[in-house]
Amino acid sequence: MNTGVELWNRAKMIIPGGNQLLSKRSDQFLPDHWPSYYKKAKGVEVWDLDNNHYIDMSIMGIGACTLGYADEEVDKAVHRAIKNGSMCTLNCYEEVELAEMLLEIEPWADMVRYARTGGESAAIAIRIARAATKRDKVAFCGYHGWHDWYLSANITSNENLNDHLLPGLSPLGVPQNLRGTMFPFNYNQIDELESIVEEHGYDLAAIIMEPVRNYHPDDSFLKRVREIANSSGAVLIFDEITTGWRLTVGGAHNIYNVEPDMLIFGKAMGNGYPTGAIIGKREIMESAQDTFISSTFWTERIGPTASIATINKIKETNSPKHLIKIGEYINKGWKVCADNNELDIEIVGVPPLTTCLFQYPEDTALELQTLFTQEMLERGYLAWNHVYTCYKHTEEIVDQYMEHVDDVFGLMADGVKQGNLKNLLKGPVATKGFKRLN
């Protein structure tokens, strides 16, 4: 019996795409077999609707829970907030406390605005940057959400987001008059940004990017981006929705000694509770007063309360140090298991966001990824080729995980050698990227 599969199939008929987040679509993991829904989550343990127990060695709530699921101290603070009323005609004082906390951690910044999701936080940042510069155009690198400003990059060409989001996304529903406002450049390719600035420099409102993600910046790359923003008058926005709070307390940009004009936080700042913050320099942030940026539920109490409790625990435990250590330990284990079984892999990403790529033709690599998830699920793990580490992951948990990885990598390697990978699968191959599911 798999209640989750049955429920997922029902969901696809009444919810477009089956759920609210592409990254949680079951068909991307293990079609027809992924448990899909959880009953309980605690630490790194997950129980599905049939009470099957798993250890999460995948993406930990899409990277939101760096302290582990249902952290007691964060939950206790949230429970108090709910008991005292999560919404009121008056404002919650916690948003002032959180703003002061963020500005102490990031002393280059002067002001803070809030949202509750990463995508809307990025949209707010772009709106403020455009208001401050009185310009429209944006140079971008990486993924920054689903809103019109970002997806409009594909109006000119359906391939503009291929290296940043997903291949072939259609910009249907995005106003055509946004054509020619978004210009992509690839990470560590400073010449691409220089070309954009050469053509559009004095029309650029913003340069938005993650300071680090799959690869570390080349020497002087971020510093050169900073110089280009200065010379063109564009607002430099670092999107740290995913990278923030994982490599250090606050933004990962601090490691590289490059300060942005604006910074976006989310995900890990609330350890599973909706949160988002846009911080920046006063002369830019005050432009939020010249446009209209306002929403009822940006004033509720749970988000800032959870963020304060989460940040306090991150500081007390120095959890980023642990996340890096566990990520490096996983990388070492993957490499040993791959060498043991003559499986060709490449490991990319900063350690807390580590990824194991199977170095085979695309169809074969996707079959290998699907087989890996299938076999690890049977051994009691939610596993993918990504692992977002958390404070509750231990070396002992990783050691047990690697014992199974070694077995599964052996099975995968044999399948490659014998050319029978598909015969080893008990369902369809996982989908790659965006695909209609209903």
What is the spatial distance between Cα 266 and Cα 158, in angstroms, rounded to a whole number?
Answer: 28
Tokens of 163: 């290296």
Tokens of 276: 């988002």
What is the spatial distance between Cα 373 and Cα 390, in angstroms, rounded to a whole number?
Answer: 20
Helix, strand, coil: what percent of the chain each, to 5?
A: 45, 15, 40
The answer for residues whose C-beta is within 8 angstroms of residue 256's C-beta and 6 or more apart is 211, 212, 217, 222
Question: Of 123, 106, 93, which is closest to residue 280 (Cα–Cα)?
Answer: 106
pLDDT of residue 88: 98
pLDDT of residue 436: 45
The answer for residues whose C-beta is within 8 angstroms of residue 257's C-beta and 6 or more apart is none
Please tell me the number of Cα atoms within 13 Å of 388 on its side-chain side.
20
What is the spatial distance between Cα 55 and Cα 65, in angstroms, rounded to a whole number?
Answer: 14
Q: Looking at domain 72-317, which CATH architecture does it have? A: 3-Layer(aba) Sandwich (3.40)
In the chain, the amino acid numbered 135 is: R
What is the spatial distance between Cα 190 and Cα 139, in angstroms, rounded to a whole number?
Answer: 12
Burial class (CB in 10 A: 0-12, 13-18, 19+), 420: exposed
pLDDT of residue 214: 86
What is the spatial distance between Cα 98 and Cα 311, in angstroms, rounded to a whole number?
Answer: 9
DSSP classification of residue 112: E
CB 232 within 8 A of CB 193: no
List, in sequence order, the alpha helices (H) in 47-89. Answer: 60-63, 72-83
CB 125 within 8 A of CB 262: yes
Residue in the block written with tokens 């625990």:
313
Please tell me the number of Cα atoms within 13 Å of 71 on its side-chain side.
27
Residues 146-163: tens digit of each pLDDT = 999 998 988 877 667 767
DSSP classification of residue 201: G
pTM: 0.95
Tokens of 64: 């939101």
Which residues in the chain come in under a pLDDT of 70?
1, 158-159, 162, 164-168, 433-438
Biggest CA-to-CA distance, the chain: 67
The residues with which 357 forms a beta bridge, in sequence order, are 346
Residues 249-265: tens digit of each pLDDT = 999 999 999 999 999 99
The answer for residues whose C-beta is within 8 angstroms of residue 321's C-beta and 6 or more apart is none
Crossing angle between the packed helical segments 319-341 and 302-317, to the nearest 10 degrees: 70
The residues with which 56 forms a beta bridge, in sequence order, are 382
User: Which helix (H) or strand (E) is 3 found in, with range?
Assistant: helix 3-14
Total number of residues shown for the chain: 438
What is the spatial distance between Cα 154 and Cα 170, in angstroms, rounded to a whole number?
Answer: 7
pLDDT of residue 158: 66
Q: Report the relative pairing of strands 381-383 and 204-209 from DSSP bridges.
A: unpaired
Distance between first and last Cα of the chain = 23
Instruction: Please report the beta strands in 375-417, taking only residues with DSSP state E, as ranges in sequence order.
Output: 381-383, 386-388
What is the spatial distance between Cα 61 and Cα 436, in angstroms, rounded to a whole number?
Answer: 23
Assess if CATH 3.90.1150.10 describes domain 3-70+318-424: yes
Q: Comparing 3-70+318-424 with 72-317, is the CATH topology the same?
A: no
Kindly list the strands in the beta sheet with 137-141, ordered across the sheet, starting from the edge strand earlier in the chain: 111-115, 276-280, 262-265, 235-239, 204-209, 137-141, 182-184
Break the chain into its structural domains and give their ranges: 3-70+318-424, 72-317
The residues with which 388 forms a beta bridge, in sequence order, are 353
pLDDT of residue 153: 87
CB 429 within 8 A of CB 374: no
